[in-house]
Structure 1
Amino acid sequence: MKTIMQWLLAAILTICGANIIISCNNIKDNAVVSLTDDSSQFVTLTDSVPDAILEIRYYGTYNFVGKRIDGYEEPTALLTKQAAKALKEVSDDVMKQGYRLKIYDAYRPQKGVDHFVRWAQNLADTIMKPYFYPDLDKSVLFEQEYIYERSGHTRGSTVDLTLFDMTTEKELDMGGTFDWFGPESHPDFCGNPETGEYTGDNSKSTAEPKRSITAKQFENRMILRRAMLAHGFKPLDTEWWHFTLSNEPFPDTYFTFPVKQLNK
């Protein structure tokens, strides 16, 4: 973990508008990580993907914290130019299949990640437990890697999303809500995402009675996954909704500017 002095230094220099380079022991291979407030390589997502529907969960209160998250100043989504271009290709692909992309989160400022960390450390704050983590004691969120001090979202090329069915005018049923903390959110829950085969195996579920998802719900997850992978994104093995541009332009840079419309 970063020391308190490192974070204080980062905060001071960020306020002054400076880019900073810090080296932290917990970063893989002792990589050097850059923190910057430079938004020049980002776009407002809907400028590039006008068909996308936005439901920015961390701007509102329906999220696992139950409050608006720090750094979300407007209900919009930002991405790096490269990620937005690739997502436009995904949108065009799924539109032909009768769907639209629905975005829950994209770029997430470091301030928002810090908010998650403070919330996770406050074990008494469990107001949203019934909705997002009923099977977990909050004390295990760091240990089981639901909460991190750094997030790929902060590098600007990661997006959380689902599909909206233009025929039914509803979200596709994915068999679980966005940001559910549990094995039911894993892409391989009840199926093999590599082959797209539904197996019905819910043995990873920790709930009693055990939860499951249907073959149709699993296939809906696969529709989203196939489209994202076909256009240059890579999945996360614990969240069916989470994808990162494979060739992300800023793999070691974490951004600090707030989420709001960019002035271009």
Structure 2
Amino acid sequence: MLKKIFVICTFFFLNLISAQPPEGFVYLSDLIPDIEVELRYFGDRNFTGRPVPGYDKRKVILTTEAAKALAEVQQELEKDGYCLKIFDAYRPQTAVNSFIEWAKHPGDTLTKAEFYPEKKKRNLFNLGYIATKSGHSRGSTVDLTIVDANTLKEIDMGGTYDYFGERSHHNFTNITKEQKANRNYLKSIMHKHGFRPYSEEWWHYTLRNEPYPDTYFDFTIK
């Protein structure tokens, strides 16, 4: 009986260890317990129209450095009555490879109306909306927005997440003053805490001094 108990305890202990991110990475919820998460690639509301390989759990993983910097962003936002909402963070190379495979099937346009109505699917890579090597796979890039801390309603950014078009660009002018101010508010706080924006996507930020600038990871999110 003691041997059986030992085997069971060992099994659960090893599973606990294997479920942790590798060294240098953390679950974002460990640093920001109240973080809002809508991990789009874990479900089917994304440009592929289906759950993406590599996302086995609804967990947000980042490098320790990026997570600590994001915790500082959250603390500052809370002073103004806001908080962060995460759409994506670390992205396994397996997921990126699935995007490449998706792009090889021009007839699969299930989500075109919502995510790329103005663009041809075959051009999404050349236009910079999807990459064969993503900064997300280096672990210090995050897709996010701001929500009201009380209602959890997203503030109006003048465009939706993962919309492949000019409306998502930081320099897009055909939005209201309030929408532009909201984008600039997010950008200024992210910049203050060490993140740089991506010009094509208002939601996309990368830690300036990322710890793994040349490494593309492929461990599963679990």
Paired position in structure 2 for 1:65: 48
Paired position in structure 1 for 2:157: 174
Higher mean displacement: 77-86 or 165-174:
165-174
| Residues in 2 aligned to 1:113 and 1:256: alpha-carbon distance in whole angstroms | 10
Q: Is the 8 A contact 1:173 1:220 kept in 2?
A: yes
Q: Identity across aligned pairs (percent)?
A: 51
| Residues in 1 aligned to 2:144 and 2:33: alpha-carbon distance in whole angstroms | 15
Aligned runs of 1:1-264 on 2, under 5 Å? 39-190=22-173, 212-260=174-222
1:168 to partner: Cα distance: 4.3
Structure 2: gaps (5+ residues):
1-20
Give the 3-state SS of the residue equivalent to 2:158 in structure 1: coil
Q: Is the 8 A contact 1:120 1:147 kept in 2?
A: no
Higher strand share: 1
Q: Is the 8 A contact 1:51 1:101 kept in 2?
A: no
| Residues in 1 aligned to 2:104 and 2:221: alpha-carbon distance in whole angstroms | 24
1:42 to partner: Cα distance: 0.4
Higher helix share: 2
| Residues in 2 aligned to 1:116 and 1:68: alpha-carbon distance in whole angstroms | 11
2:38 alignment partner AA:
E
Paired position in structure 1 for 2:3: none
| Residues in 2 aligned to 1:137 and 1:172: alpha-carbon distance in whole angstroms | 29
1:33-80, CA deviations, whole angstroms, 9 ceiling, x for partnerless residues? xxxxx8211000110112210100000000000000010000110000
| Residues in 2 aligned to 1:68 and 1:168: alpha-carbon distance in whole angstroms | 27
Paired position in structure 2 for 1:11: none
1:137 to partner: Cα distance: 1.2
1:145 to partner: Cα distance: 2.0
| Residues in 2 aligned to 1:259 and 1:180: alpha-carbon distance in whole angstroms | 24
1:227-247, CA deviations, whole angstroms, 9 ceiling, x for partnerless residues? 100000011010000000000
1:166-218, CA deviations, whole angstroms, 9 ceiling, x for partnerless residues? 2443110111110000011011111xxxxxxxxxxxxxxxxxxxxx3111111
TM-score under structure 1 length normalisation: 0.75
Q: Is the 8 A contact 1:51 1:91 kept in 2?
A: no
2:59 alignment partner AA:
T
1:188 alignment partner AA:
N
| Residues in 2 aligned to 1:250 and 1:168: alpha-carbon distance in whole angstroms | 36
| Residues in 1 aligned to 2:42 and 2:175: alpha-carbon distance in whole angstroms | 29
Give the 3-state SS of the residue equivalent to 1:255 in structure 2: coil
Paired position in structure 1 for 2:18: none
Give the 3-state SS of the residue equivalent to 2:53 in structure 1: coil
